[in-house]
Amino acid sequence: MKVDVLLGLQWGDEGKGKIVDVLTPKYDIVARFQGGPNAGHTLEFEGQKYVLRSIPSGIFQGGKINIIGNGVVLDPALFKAEVEALERSGHDLTKRIYISRKAHLILPTHRILDAAYEAQKGDVKIGTTGKGIGPTYTDKISRNGLRIGDIEQNFEQKYKAAIDRHILILKQMNYDFDLSQLEKEWMEGIETIKRFKLIDSEHFVNKELAEDKKILAEGAQGTMLDIDFGSYPYVTSSNTISAGASTGLGIAPSKIGEVYGIFKAYCTRVGSGPFPTELHDEVGQKMRDFGNEYGSVTGRPRRCGWIDLVALRYAIMVDGVTQLIMMKSDVMDTFESIKACVAYDINGKEVEDFPYSIDENLTPIYAELPGWKTDMTKMQSENEFPEEFNAYLSFLEENLGVPIKIVSVGPDRAQTIIRYDDSAE
């Protein structure tokens, strides 16, 4: 069997968590392959709402194994809080979450360094989630990181060396900090991690594949936040694209099967950085209100704008997307008309290919389609779709060149419409 990958095609928060949960019954294993607690993946079902940060979104359906892969960065303190909250609501996780020994640890000082670097950047700060993601991946690449596997060998010594190095950097930056409380919670988190099965996940995953098991790799963030292909430097510090599933789980590119690309019917972004189709008017505010566009981790209002097909085509290209999933269609239910950016006007030239930089002065060129002005939230099948909505789907499929196989019409697990039933595949 192959590994199917599900990823965000925009700037994150597309609804990955919801769809991973919906798709989990088709799989034996769900695995996160990059990112860390900067992610906030929301799932709603049976009147309950959960926000997952480091735990994969396959945890609620039918006792499946969930893996935290080597490409992930894990904060023990936040992991402990997440585990305990789920256990309090009656979910037994211990036997179902496996953690890669090669995943890197977010140290308490990484969080402080994240804040210190942001403060140093001043006006050009990234607007990070403040979870220590950048500094942890920096240490990984510069070969100074601490890994989950280190917990099993000479841990205290390695921890102290890493922390001392960070303290020196923070002192050189004249950055005031208090480590004691953070460190206490962090050490307690290490004890929580020890309750879980620590594995060489690349071996595990490949053995399972050889035994015909089905694996779903769950992306975090989105393609436009990818360290190589996103709107650099306003990106996260990992490869969020489909290739990240190879390095983040130890699976060869030839083992990747379907690539599900997920996007909102409009577009959002949190934090700083360019956003060509951003709306600062009442239409953008309507998207924020109807879509409840406030960060699931930080609570920050998300910036909202029209769907950007130039950026989406680029994401589909670098990810090799085979199926599209459109989320939050219901947010547009009352709109008179809907715009979609089909090209950029850059200095009077019409550009259809995503350019090196979207920082410069560019104007989106829009196509405008009639809205469907119908409440779609209770629809159960594509046969109920209004004519204008079908026209919108066809327009997108034609422009993007990939079929839209799933349409989401509300946050609940049940508000999901699978088009073209592929159960016979």
Give the residue numbers marked as catalytic.
13, 41
| Residue from 223, 236, 238, 408 binding ligand GDP (CB under 6 A) | 408
Q: Write down the residue that tokens 């211990």 correspond to.
A: 94
- For residue 34, the partner it binds in Mg ion, ligand GDP, ligand IMO, none, with Cβ less than 5 to 8 A by kind, is none
Tell me the two tokens of residue 49: 């709402």
To the nearest whole angstrom, how small is the minimum distance from the Cβ of residue 413 to ligand IMO?
Answer: 18
- For residue 231, the partner it binds in ligand IMO, Mg ion, ligand GDP, none, with Cβ less than 5 to 8 A by kind, is none
Tell me the two tokens of residue 227: 């360290």
3 binds ligand IMO (CB under 6 A): no
- For residue 271, the partner it binds in ligand GDP, Mg ion, ligand IMO, none, with Cβ less than 5 to 8 A by kind, is ligand IMO
Contact yes or no for 189/79 (Cβ under 8 A): yes
- Work out the end-to-end distance of the chain between its first and last CA atoms, rounded to an integer number of angstroms: 13
* 3-class DSSP state of 32: strand
15 binds ligand GDP (CB under 6 A): yes
| Residue from 44, 202, 258, 278 binding ligand GDP (CB under 6 A) | 44
Q: Which residue is nearest to ligand GDP (CB)?
A: 42
Show Cβ contacts of residue 403 under 8 Å, excluding neighbours closer than 6 positions: 323, 324, 397, 419, 420
40 binds Mg ion (CB under 5 A): yes
To the nearest whole angstrom, how small is the minimum distance from the Cβ of residue 236 to ligand IMO?
Answer: 3
Question: What does the radius of gyration of the chain's CA atoms come to, in whole angstroms?
Answer: 21
Residues 311-350 that bind ligand GDP (CB under 6 A): 327-328, 330-331
| Residue from 42, 70, 223, 236 binding ligand GDP (CB under 6 A) | 42
35 binds ligand GDP (CB under 6 A): no
- φ, ψ for residue 355, nearest 5 deg: -80, 170
- For residue 221, the partner it binds in Mg ion, ligand GDP, ligand IMO, none, with Cβ less than 5 to 8 A by kind, is ligand IMO
Q: Are strands 362-370 and 337-346 parallel, antiparallel or unpaired?
A: antiparallel
Count how many residues are written for the chain.
425
58 binds ligand IMO (CB under 6 A): no
Residues 149-178 that bind ligand IMO (CB under 6 A): none
Tell me the two tokens of residue 276: 């060509």
Residues 242-301 that bind ligand IMO (CB under 6 A): 270-271
Binding region for ligand IMO (CB under 6 A) out of 39-47, 337-345, 352-360, 369-377: 39-47
Binding region for ligand IMO (CB under 6 A) out of 21-29, 85-93, 127-135, 316-324: 127-135
Which has the closest alpha carbon to 218: 187, 185, 260?
260
Q: Is the peptide bond before 253 cis (omega within 30 degrees of 0)?
A: no
Contact yes or no for 2/205 (Cβ under 8 A): no
271 binds Mg ion (CB under 5 A): no
Tell me the two tokens of residue 109: 């000082």
38 binds ligand IMO (CB under 6 A): yes
* 3-class DSSP state of 340: strand
Cα torsion through 314, 315, 319, 325, rounded to 10: -130
- For residue 73, the partner it binds in ligand GDP, ligand IMO, Mg ion, none, with Cβ less than 5 to 8 A by kind, is none
CA angle 237, 240, 241 (to 5 degrees): 140
21 binds ligand IMO (CB under 6 A): no
Which has the closest alpha carbon to 371: 402, 325, 330, 403?
330
Closer Cβ to ligand GDP, 41 or 102, answer by number: 41
Binding region for ligand GDP (CB under 6 A) out of 142-150, 160-168, 277-285, 406-414: 406-414
To the nearest whole angstrom, how small is the minimum distance from the Cβ of residue 368 to Mg ion?
Answer: 29
288 binds ligand GDP (CB under 6 A): no
Closer Cβ to ligand GDP, 17 or 261, answer by number: 17
Show Cβ contacts of residue 4 under 8 Å, excluding neighbours closer than 6 positions: 27, 214, 215, 216, 217, 256, 257, 258, 259, 260
To the nearest whole angstrom, how small is the minimum distance from the Cβ of residue 34 to ligand GDP?
Answer: 13
Tell me the two tokens of residue 201: 């996940």
Closer Cβ to Mg ion, 109 or 296, answer by number: 296
Tell me the two tokens of residue 322: 């085979």
Measured from the Cβ of residue 51, the count of other Cβ atoms closer than 10 Å reads 14
The residues of the shown chain that bind ligand IMO, judged by CB under 6 A, are 8, 11-13, 38-41, 126-129, 131, 133-134, 220-222, 225, 236-237, 270-271
The residues of the shown chain that bind Mg ion, judged by CB under 5 A, are 13, 40, 296
